[in-house]
Amino acid sequence: MSVFAADHEEVVFCHDPTSGLRAIIAIYSTALGPALGGTRFFPYEREEDALADVLNLAKSMAYKNAMAGLDHGGGKAVIWGDPGTDKTEALLRAYGRFVQSLGGRYITACDVGTYVEDMDIVARECRWVTGRSPEHGGCGDSSILTAWGVFQGMRATAEHLWGIPTLRGRRVGIAGIGKVGRHLLEHLRDDGASVLVADVSEQALAQARAIHPGVEVAEDTDALVGSDLDVYAPCALGAALDDWTVPRLRAKAVCGGANNQLAHAGIEKVLQDRGILYAPDYVVNSGGVIQVADEIEGFVFERAKAKATKIFDTTRRIFALAADEGVPPAVAADRLAERRMAEVGRLRTILLR
């Protein structure tokens, strides 16, 4: 999918040469409320790559927040640099001041390369931050409810395919056994599924083995994709479903936590033509944003979990609409998200005194 800056409400380039901060904040839409989305800290090769990523991610956040039923529009930020070497207090605080300068049009949180302790530092300069540590009144690690939501989406997928909302007796392949993948593995094991995992990091695999000594490990992601699976769960980076992977997939369904899984427009149709049921990524992985959005009200875990559990119903609704309208589930999800943004966003035209 090509996304152009012209589609977005606002794109801000932030530069603080002394701390080394180079960041881009993209606000796709505030139709439903302040734009909410995390900050990715990543060593992009070129500025164009950082820009393309943030534009895509901000748009996905608008659709994700709409489908999660939140009163938030979509935005995202990227910090261009290596989080291992470039992340300093001064850089994070400089970034916080740029977020603050937007006056609440954008609320930030964690993403790849940023952690709750980073948000605590950003919050020293900025009130528009969520996903802070529990010590600072925050909701902590959002991967807990992200994985819970993916599991709910997978239960709905199982119900649609096999008539019963459980993964018991099924074989699920998780590519990327990081924060989300590990929690998902636990839910699947508790539900009685057998799980095959793959990761490029030996450390991540060792952690998975430590938690679940019996877990089966594939040689690599390609081997996992070609394995005899019921469900494939991409839980690493984006574009997991591309022209190389989809023809090789042997799973009957795809449902995972990674953002922006569809490598390009049209790949959702290839999945459908191959008879593979795709649970739209931004729907099933919205548990994390539900968790951080709850922090804005004063975090109550059970309330946020109850909301994330509804991902089961939302996924069901998307599969039903897709069947009714004869479109892939990704298209059905987009239609529902756009409908909510238009119907609820329109209410702002009613003038208040």
Ligand X SMILES: NC(=O)c1ccc[n+]([C@@H]2O[C@H](COP(=O)([O-])OP(=O)(O)OC[C@H]3O[C@@H](n4cnc5c(N)ncnc54)[C@H](O)[C@@H]3O)[C@@H](O)[C@H]2O)c1
Nearer to ligand X, 94 or 145 (CB): 145
Q: Of 127, 135, 201, 320, which one interacts with ligand X (CB under 6 A)?
A: 201
Among 199, 230, 268, 334, binds ligand X (CB under 6 A): 199
State the nearest-atom distance from the C-beta of 174 to ligand X, in Å.
Answer: 9
Decide if residue 114 touches ligand X (CB under 6 A): no
Task: Decide whether 94 or 139 has the Cβ nearer to ligand X.
Answer: 139
If the CB atoms of residues 121 and 235 are measured against ligand X, the closer one turns out to be 235
Taking CB under 6 A as the rule, does residue 200 contact ligand X? yes
Q: Is 204 in the site for ligand X (CB under 6 A)?
A: yes
Tokens matching residue 152: 């709910």
Using the minimum distance from each CB to ligand X, give the nearer residue, 108 or 146: 146
Residues 205-264 interacting with ligand X (rule: CB under 6 A): 221, 235-237, 257-259
β partners of residue 234: 175
Report the candidate in 317, 329, 350, 348 with the shortest Cα–Cα distance to residue 69: 317
Helix, strand, coil share of the chain (percent; to 5): 50, 15, 35
Element holding 176 (H helix, E strand): none
* Residue numbers 131-160 binding ligand X by CB under 6 A: 142-143, 146
> Looking at 155, 179, 307, 316, which residue binds ligand X (CB under 6 A)?
179
Q: What angle do CA 32, 76, 255 make, to 5 degrees?
A: 85
Q: How far is the CB of 126 from ligand X (least distance, A)?
A: 20
Which among 59, 64, 76, 179 is annotated as catalytic? 76
Closer residue to ligand X in complex, CB, 90/200: 200
Taking the C-alpha atoms of residue 63 and residue 115, their distance in angstroms, rounded to an integer, is 24
Compute the distance between CA of residue 292 and CA of residue 28 in angstroms, rounded to an integer. 19
CB 33 within 8 A of CB 73: yes
Helices 143-162, 179-191: axis angle to 10 degrees equals 40
Distance from C-alpha of 319 to C-alpha of 298, rounded to nearest angstrom:
33
Annotation marks residue 76 as catalytic: yes
Nearest 5°: the CA angle 113, 182, 261 is 60
Catalytic residue annotation? 76
Query: Can you give the binding site for ligand X, defined by CB under 6 A?
Result: 112, 142-143, 146, 175-181, 198-201, 204, 221, 235-237, 257-259, 285, 288
